[in-house]
Amino acid sequence: MIEVVPAGPEGAGTQIRLRPPRALTAHQFKALFVGLAGVMWGVAGLGWLAGNAFAPVFALLHTALVAAALRWLWRAGERDEVIVIGPEQVEVRGSASSAPAFHAHPYWVRLGAGRSGEQVVLSSRGKQVEVGAFLGAGERRELAARLQELLAAAGGRNR
């Protein structure tokens, strides 16, 4: 998901916030887990009635494994990237770190494609950073077009 908002109170600059797309809300994610756990425990109950004394133990382990996997998946979707493009600086920050992963003057920043042609890469003075790696191909093309416009406006020239 791509969100574009003004970066400063004076309107100087733009902030682009990138987040991975999510198919489910938090409530739907919990409902999915409850549904899966219900089916697991239903089958384990039938197994126990049929004489398998270990079925509830395996259902408990399976429930814990599915809960851990769904929690990891949800937390992986919480990451984001913030790209701030102002008249004096372009800065890229990831959600995991407080220090910028990339910063340069907008006049010297180049927008390019990565090795496979599907990546969006900002580069300047030998440093480069890939942005929007978790976005789909269509969203990356949209991101590249927006970055091209914003960099041209911030750098004061057409690219």
What percent of the chain stands above pLDDT 70?
91
Distances (CA, A) of 154 to 72, 86, 87, 130: 38, 6, 5, 20
Give the residue-averaged pLDDT of 36-65: 96
77 phi and psi angles, rounded to 5 deg? -80, -5
Burial class (CB in 10 A: 0-12, 13-18, 19+), 83: buried
pLDDT grade, residue 67 (50/70/90)?
A: very high
Write out pLDDT tens, residues 4-18.
Answer: 887 666 657 888 999
pLDDT score of 23 more than 60: yes
Write out pLDDT tens, residues 103-121.
Answer: 999 989 999 887 777 889 9
